Structure 1
């Protein structure tokens, strides 16, 4: 089910700027470490639909990533139980998926080393952030890139504030006020309705630190979950565990 928010809506610009002006430190601010650490859970990436269009399954995983400035580190991914919109879809896919993918039991985590790669530093200036967040492509692209940035970097407070100000200047974001994310955390949300592609993007931010808590994508009609990610933890660390 989508995150619940009120039906009232208004332009998000002033609220995002106000949030940016009052941010406090996150737990990781003023700390250091060799590795950027992220713990996320993702549902609905990918989604499979049967050839007749009647049966759906959304895959889910839990991921922990440790990544140094040169891109090296490790990633541990655990496949979670697939999600089904109805019992008929569950029955269909449990008959037709490979045994491991259809199983309800959680399989062993997949532990994968990350080789060095070209990992660009996170910019802090407005022009560079506009480019990184693909502002020229509009609010739909920005929503996706904000989620990518917070899932890849440990974002310092000043940059978090600047990202909120970038969002405030992008036309189309609507303020949705206080919400509760999928794991029970209180946040504030903005949405963007992409009517051309029949899709809504929803971003949930921590109301104190401005950290991104979750990113959700929905179809607009009928309202149906497409994909959802929660960022459970972000930190600096010297340990790969």
Structure 2
């Protein structure tokens, strides 16, 4: 199924949109025993390893604004992540904090929250998944935004934890990622991530001023860290209308 998807994978309109910054808008839920935490994030990333992030976290409605100069996001190494299948597997495992098929699925989802992989890169990722043992493909899975795609599952914890990645059945774009645990009443979600808008833009929400009196930078610079919160929305994966101004959280 995945090899078939890789062979017929199509481009989408985001692939050719201009702008040095890739923009990704995602929403993430984490379910604890007595609470639900939700994060809504818009990220900008450029090939020189610069970027920015606007995030809104609930239930306390906290808003954070992070900004990175060229080179400060080098730890993500996103520019080279899709060079070869071996490199992609290594990067995905680093993002997924482990190895094995479940870490690969998690790592690809994590990469998609920062980067807009093009058609060639998505084909590479789909072939990597097809060549990975321990994964099961499902032809028709619907995410929380009502989008249908191909589901890929991996299991850990002796089959009691399920990792589900959902790909668009035409473009191979990642739509959603879920981690769920098996309970007496069935599968219960622990983490749910939706990839919403993705596009490109020439600038971030904040850029250094070229005037004699430069604009004040954000209060602090935070280097990226593995999110303690993984992310429903009806937006399609690409909204070209956001190209001019970039997306806003």
> Is 1:17 the counterpart of 2:17 in the alignment?
no
By how many angstroms is 1:200 displaced?
A: 0.4
> TM (normalized to structure 2)?
0.72
Structure whose alpha-carbon radius of gyration is higher: 1
Unpaired stretches in structure 2, ≥5 consecutive residues: 205-245
Structure 1 Cα separation of the partners of residues 87 and 57 of structure 2:
35
Q: Which residue of 2 aligns with 1:92?
A: none
Structure 2 Cα separation of the partners of residues 237 and 25 of structure 1:
18
By how many angstroms is 1:59 displaced?
A: 0.4
Post-superposition CA distance 1:177-222 (Å, at most 9, x none):
2122111112121111224373100010111100000000001234
**SS in structure 2 opposite 1:28?**
helix
Matches of residues 105-120 of structure 1 in structure 2 within 5 Å? 107=61, 109-116=63-70, 117=72, 118=74, 119-120=76-77
Post-superposition CA distance 1:28-83 (Å, at most 9, x none):
21333121100000000xx444xxxxxx21200110011222332321111244xx
CA contact (8 A) 2:19 2:201 kept: yes
> TM (normalized to structure 1)?
0.74
How many residue pairs are counted as aligned between the two chains?
195
Query: Alpha carbons of 1:35 and 1:224: their partners in 2 closer, same or farther (altered >3 Å)?
Result: same
**SS in structure 2 opposite 1:152?**
coil
Deviates more, 1:119-128 or 1:184-193: 119-128
Structure 1 Cα separation of the partners of residues 86 and 197 of structure 2:
28
Deviates more, 1:34-43 or 1:136-145: 136-145
1:59 to 37, 40, 57: 37
**SS in structure 1 opposite 2:192?**
strand
Unpaired stretches in structure 1, ≥5 consecutive residues: 1-14, 50-55, 82-100, 102-106
Query: Alpha carbons of 1:32 and 1:17: their partners in 2 closer, same or farther (altered >3 Å)?
Result: same
2:191 to 227, 232, 239: 227
Structure 2 Cα separation of the partners of residues 61 and 134 of structure 1:
23
Q: Which residue of 2 aligns with 1:238?
A: 202
By how many angstroms is 1:239 displaced?
A: 2.8
Moved over 6 A (4+): none
Matches of residues 32-47 of structure 1 in structure 2 within 5 Å? 32-44=18-30, 47=31
By how many angstroms is 1:154 displaced?
A: 1.3
Structure 1 Cα separation of the partners of residues 83 and 49 of structure 2:
19
Query: Alpha carbons of 1:26 and 1:124: their partners in 2 closer, same or farther (altered >3 Å)?
Result: farther
